[in-house]
Structure 1
């Protein structure tokens, strides 16, 4: 839709990137979106297409086989994919988000050489493991623990609600070291699939369609060469996580735009009382509010992504973008379903699954409530005024 394509903050190169991803999504991903949502299967075929085009290496430097794009590039890619297929967007998030960004920023040269080239090609699937049964937003109190045993660590603990764990080749495991309490004791190690003591347990089917898994570590032996970050580990990893906040928001933005596009087309075609329902003022007001809501979120998200360059987004800008876009997507997708009437409530129309997909944003990557707390802390600390 032309009016949603125009944005002066997007370069000519990025417009070409958007065009490429849009065409692939429309041709390859969107037709399979309903099936993937029903089955919850990992979209291997879609990921292969993206890997062959080099899009999965957008967050990885050229020297390791990537295309060394910006955070803005990653946002644009996910936004376009999410318009057509939420399941594929979530899979791509795991490859171009905090996982690969953290390895690039904090990994040793040996770690980068070992993992980044295959990640860039789409040959290594990543899973990040933070949440535990009793520590969701309270990540600083995680109980997973790594004990130093000379040339290796022995890791024990349980992680839950982990995306892609069933297909992951590499796990970025947030863990406490030597039982050191609080933020200071937390860092991250990399654990390869098949490592003895690493077990993937029960899966939880989500309303969005994808599965989340439980990961159990029982005397799991990890060589010290796979230590990603320890000193100031929690702070560094949370800084990297600002990227995830923006990419989470980009999926929500894409879902909202996709739902809006569906609603606009439907209201032009659907007739009641002898005329298209788009002719009724009440419908026009709903469409106007949805469009303005989307544009406001896009401005906030693009600001955070653009200012980040190839680094990490600003904490405050990322949290503002995530909070606003998450809540916007819930509103807009629900309104899109409402505009479809009874048909919107059926699985025959894509808005039904867009509503379900949009609900993930305000939970994953830090809830809306956590974002508001973070925003308030930053405002009070800096004493910002208009």
Structure 2
């Protein structure tokens, strides 16, 4: 194990078990062996889904980290999922986002709330890397205001099927996903009560996906439309009053989003440390200048602090889903930390930080997504304050 990894663990309030240490080391070794960092800019520039990396993760059993053993997975906890995603994000944000659903909320929502048929059919395919899932919440007029969503699901008593109409916007992995976890309304009644979720396979008649929109991080985002999409009743994850259940599952996404922020901040710090040691200015390495040392120290303090909060949220899940309060705190701190750290790293690289051939600029761009996905810091602060004040 590296000196860095040993230092991280010795400082932890949530000490890792020998098995967790081995998992983290195995994830790091695979990421380095497969050249995730070296190909990260390529995935961005081409906009291609990083299938080679995802298949490598599946081959190592890492994509199946949190999937139940009975369905082809390793039965790991949210802590194991956070450890693996941090190591991936340390090298390649594109691949971390590509594997987030399989290690996190999509697979866990299926495992916790899916029918026996759904679990048996889809979870082994997710574990093997043969099936990519996408979660669909956002609509053109319903982002943070989730209660304004208009996609609706209705029961057809004649066929016993569920019919879905509506659309979603800014959806990740629309180009490759074979299964969509779609949040829906079960009636036009206002508020939380009618909101639930269903599964819609890619080949469902009536489902159309647009060509995608370019993003700052290279990943395309897609719009989906549902025109009388018919699915079996067994593909329902949550009916009316199911929003709280699905929101609980989404706490896992917030926790793992935070782990990705910690990972990419650590990757940026690693790159900065290597750079300032070899870059000479004023007759000595940048690392020998006190002002540079303080910037490196500030990064380390913030990364270590955020990591503790992510581990706290993941460890407290105890086999279920992370607590909303803990996950919200971890997400806000980690997202905002990553923005500050990666901004400092660009400054540490100086003019080279502005060049795409150096890693600093891409870490800064990657960090900007964290506060946008999985609930903004503003929404999380509202939830945190309500918990404190109730």
TM-score scaled to structure 2, two decimals? 0.96
How far apart are residue 299 of structure 1 and its match? 0.8
Instruction: Trace 1:1-386 onto structure 2 (pairs within 5 A).
Output: 2-6=3-7, 7-8=9-10, 9-28=15-34, 29-150=36-157, 151-381=160-390
Partner Cα separation in structure 2 for residue 345 and residue 227 of structure 1: 48
Given that 2:265 and 2:341 are in contact with CA atoms closer than 8 Å, whether structure 1 keeps it comes out as: yes
Partner Cα separation in structure 2 for residue 10 and residue 32 of structure 1: 30
In structure 2, stretches of 5+ residues that fail to align are none
Per the alignment, in what secondary structure is the counterpart of residue 308 of structure 1?
coil
How far apart are residue 232 of structure 1 and its match? 2.4
How far apart are residue 310 of structure 1 and its match? 2.1
Per the alignment, in what secondary structure is the counterpart of residue 162 of structure 1?
strand
Partner Cα separation in structure 2 for residue 259 and residue 53 of structure 1: 25
How far apart are residue 4 of structure 1 and its match? 4.4
Partner Cα separation in structure 1 for residue 374 and residue 178 of structure 2: 21
Question: Which consecutive aligned stretches of 4+ in structure 1 deviate over 6 angstroms post-superposition?
Answer: none
Partner Cα separation in structure 1 for residue 167 and residue 240 of structure 2: 23
How far apart are residue 12 of structure 1 and its match? 1.1
How far apart are residue 20 of structure 1 and its match? 1.0
How far apart are residue 181 of structure 1 and its match? 2.5
Deviating more after overlay: 52-61 vs 62-71: 52-61
Partner Cα separation in structure 1 for residue 56 and residue 106 of structure 2: 20
Deviations 1:122-178 (A, max 9, x none): 111100000000110111221001122121122111101101111110000100013
How many residues were matched structurally?
381
Partner Cα separation in structure 1 for residue 379 and residue 236 of structure 2: 29
In structure 1, stretches of 5+ residues that fail to align are 382-386
How far apart are residue 92 of structure 1 and its match? 0.7
Deviating more after overlay: 253-262 vs 230-239: 230-239
- Superposition RMSD in Å: 1.1
Per the alignment, in what secondary structure is the counterpart of residue 369 of structure 2?
coil
Given that 1:72 and 1:309 are in contact with CA atoms closer than 8 Å, whether structure 2 keeps it comes out as: no
TM-score scaled to structure 1, two decimals? 0.97
